[in-house]
C-alpha cells in the first residue's frame, strides 16, 4: 500500500519543477491526481510521465490565481475522483530583483495575485469539501525568502511571507474541522524559476559555489521538496498543522556568515 493510496489530490504549478516532481511522487504512492499548470504543453507532458509510470492523472491548463478556475478544479477533482484529500497550492512566479524605486505597483499586484491570492483561493474553495468529509491536507509553497531577507526580490519575499501567515491563520480558522494547512519553505532549488542563477553560474564555471551558504553546502532538487509535500499530504503528518517547514539545507538556521571548511 502506498502512503497516499485512496487519496485524491490537486497540484497546481505541476507543469515543471517542484509541482511535476510532486505529481510523479504522489501518483507513485497511490494518489489520483488533478495536475494544473498555466501552460498546456507542460502539464500534458507531466501527465504523460505519470501515466507512463502507471499513475492515474487528469491534466488541466488553468490559471491557479483565477477564482472561477480554482473552484472548477476543485469541482473536477470531486466529480471525477469522488473526494478532495490533498490540495498542493504550489504555483508561483519569481522576480522583483530590481531596485525598490524601479518596482511598479502593477508588478507587485501580479506577484501577489499568483503567489498569495492563488493559495488563498485554494484554501477558500478546497477547505469546504475537506470540512464536510472531516479531514484533508492543504499545502502551500512559501519560501525561505518569506522567513529572512536577501533570499529573493522584495515583492516575491513579501508574497511568501504572506503565504506563511496565510497557513497559520487558515489553520486556526479551520479549528476543530480535521483539515490541516501547512507551508513548505524551499531554499535554493534547481527549477525553471531559478534557471538564470544556475545558467549564469555554469557559464562562469562556478556551479560548485551554488548553495554554499547553507550547512549542506549544496543546492536542492525538486524531489527533495516533493518528499516534504508527500509527508504533509500523508497521514504520517496527522498532527502537523499551521507550520512553515523549511527545506533549505539549513540556510534559515543561521545569520549570514563566511563559510569555512572543516579542518581548513
Indicate which residues carry an active-site annotation: 156
Distance CA(12)–CA(227), nearest Å, equals 16
DSSP secondary-structure letter at 40? H
Distance CA(103)–CA(142), nearest Å, equals 21
Show the CA angle centred on residue 166, arms to residues 38 and 196, nearest 5°.
45
**CA-wise closest residue to 148 among 246, 234, 239, 226:** 246
Distance CA(251)–CA(186), nearest Å, equals 10
Distance CA(118)–CA(122), nearest Å, equals 6
189: phi then psi, degrees, rounded to nearest 5 = -115, 140
Provide the 10 A C-beta neighbour count for residue 229. Answer: 27
Distance CA(94)–CA(197), nearest Å, equals 12
User: What cell does 1 get?
Assistant: 500500500
SS3 for 115-156, per residue?
A: HHHHHHHHHHHHHHHHHHHCCEEEEEECCHHHCCCCCCCHHH
Sequence length of the chain is 264
Residue 202: enclosing H or E segment and its boundaries?
A: helix 195-203
Amino acid at each position: 500500500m502506498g502512503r497516499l493510496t485512496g487519496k485524491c489530490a490537486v497540484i497546481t504549478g505541476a507543469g515543471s519543477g517542484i509541482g511535476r516532481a510532486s505529481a510523479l511522487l504522489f501518483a507513485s504512492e497511490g494518489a489520483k491526481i488533478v495536475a494544473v499548470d498555466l501552460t498546456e504543453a507542460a502539464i500534458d507532458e507531466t501527465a504523460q510521465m505519470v501515466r507512463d509510470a502507471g499513475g492515474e492523472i487528469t491534466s488541466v491548463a488553468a490559471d491557479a490565481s483565477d477564482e472561477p478556475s480554482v473552484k472548477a478544479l476543485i469541482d473536477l477533482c470531486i466529480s471525477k475522483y469522488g473526494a478532495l484529500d490533498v490540495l498542493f497550492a504550489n504555483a508561483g512566479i519569481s522576480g522583483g530583483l530590481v531596485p525598490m524605486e524601479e518596482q511598479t505597483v502593477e508588478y507587485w499586484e501580479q506577484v501577489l495575485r499568483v503567489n498569495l491570492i492563488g493559495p488563498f483561493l485554494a484554501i477558500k474553495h478546497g477547505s469546504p469539501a475537506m470540512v464536510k468529509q472531516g479531514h484533508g491536507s492543504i499545502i502551500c509553497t512559501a519560501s525561505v525568502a518569506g522567513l529572512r531577507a536577501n533570499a529573493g526580490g522584495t515583492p516575491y519575499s513579501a508574497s511568501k511571507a504572506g503565504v506563511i501567515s496565510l497557513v497559520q491563520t487558515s489553520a486556526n480558522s479551520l479549528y476543530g474541522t480535521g483539515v490541516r494547512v501547512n507551508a513548505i519553505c524551499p531554499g535554493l532549488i534547481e527549477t525553471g524559476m531559478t534557471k538564470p542563477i544556475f545558467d549564469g553560474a555554469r557559464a562562469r564555471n562556478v556551479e560548485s559555489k551554488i548553495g554554499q551558504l547553507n550547512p549542506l553546502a549544496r543546492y536542492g532538487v525538486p524531489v527533495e521538496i516533493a518528499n516534504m509535500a508527500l509527508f504533509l499530504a500523508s497521514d504520517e503528518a496527522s498532527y502537523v498543522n499551521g507550520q512553515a517547514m523549511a527545506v533549505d539545507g539549513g540556510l534559515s538556521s543561521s545569520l549570514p556568515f563566511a563559510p569555512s571548511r572543516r579542518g581548513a
